[in-house]
Amino acid sequence: MFDMVEPLRATRDGYLMSLNLGTPPQVIQVYMDTGSDLTWVPCGNVSFDCIECDQYYRINRLTSAFSPLNSSSSLRVSCSSPFCTQIHNSDNSYDPCVMAGCSLNTLLKGTCSRPCPSFAYTYGGGGVVSGTLAKDLLRVHGTGLSSSTTKETQRFRFGCIRQAYKEPLGIAGFGRGSLSLLSQLGYLNKGFSHCFVSFKFASNPNISSPLIIGDEAISSKESSKFTPLLTNPTYPNYYYIGLEAITISNMSMKEVPMKLREFDGKGNGGMMIDSGTTYTHLPEPLYSQLLLDLQLAIQHPRAIEQEKQTGFDLCYYIPCPNNNGSSNCIGNDDDLPSITFHFLDNVSLFLPRANNFYAIRPPSNSSVVKCLLYQGMNDENDGNDSGGPAAIFGNFQQQNVEVVYDLMNERIGFNPMDCAAACSSSQVLRS
């Protein structure tokens, strides 16, 4: 079985991988997202229209558009394709072709060849993308340390997106649905692993995070601690784990509500592990209790003004070592409390302190402002009628942790490590 390796580049809120699409290949940067299925890229020969999108991505030249007209192998997906039925969330395979204008006669004969109608795809954070379903040649890289092995998938289906709302970059969906990158490349019964480097490397193009897909990702992982994957009967395509308790430094362990490890009849519950969400989200009253315990444990002065400006709930002035107020000051993380997550099957994940607080502005007056990068779950995501996770384990808390998705054995493993060093040793550093 061909194993796949791709470098992930850290940005300020997630991790990007390169998709080599089309003939000749066009390289498009997209987020690696375990919290969705659809892979999509910005499309258009003139422009990609993004509504209420941060200009950071355009300024830093991260946004690029795929041009179907410049690819000799680009095609539209047919309205009769099961992929079209899925993207339109239809239980009736005839629906997309009816929307496309096919006659009943051609539907019954299976001869309608019209393309899949345009669709809209929504995300839990409120983002929306709109476009068409396309298929084209996708090239991925093999794991050989000295070889440049590539694998080609001839009819890779993806969204060709013309308009987006609050989604400035494309996304590679790593969920378990038929449209996901994993499914289309044949890895759903295998697995993958990633080791996210620290966000401090976001401006360093020479350091990347190793993403490995296939047997190599799940073999020889004796040092990882595995917790079972939970299946949400309403949303089986996403990755859920069960949280039992949280410990802050040497305080007593605090048990969490049962809904963080089980589901109700509407699909509410569980903790979704999501590489496409930046911060870990916790439900009330657990989140407020976490804030209270952290305030009791931290002796530094609060940065109230920065909390108002940023919207973060806890910010502190952290002194620079030896009163060094230079631009290199990052503050002393040893003065901040640690946070440990306790998952099902006695799996305890001690998070590096840098995974909890982050410097949000340059140092001043021999101190640096650091804010807690956790958030409370929005009311609409907590116990809503349509179903959804009770908590989300975000990518900021996954820094410097090798996360192993062992899909064959239905489990997820954690192994804290220096991911930049692991990247170097596995020769996935960008040149």
Cβ proximity of 163 and 172 under 8 Å: no
> β-strands 374-376, 280-282: how paired?
parallel
Single-letter amino acid, residue 35: G
Place of tokens 């659809």: 38
Burial class (CB in 10 A: 0-12, 13-18, 19+), 304: exposed
Task: Reply yes or no on whether 382 is catalytic.
Answer: no
Of 3, 33, 136, 382, the active-site residue reads 33
Task: Reply yes or no on whether 215 is catalytic.
Answer: no
Bridge partners of residue 132, in order along the sequence: 160
**Tokens read off for 35:** 């919290």
Of 274, 293, 382, 406, the active-site residue reads 274
Active site residues: 33, 274
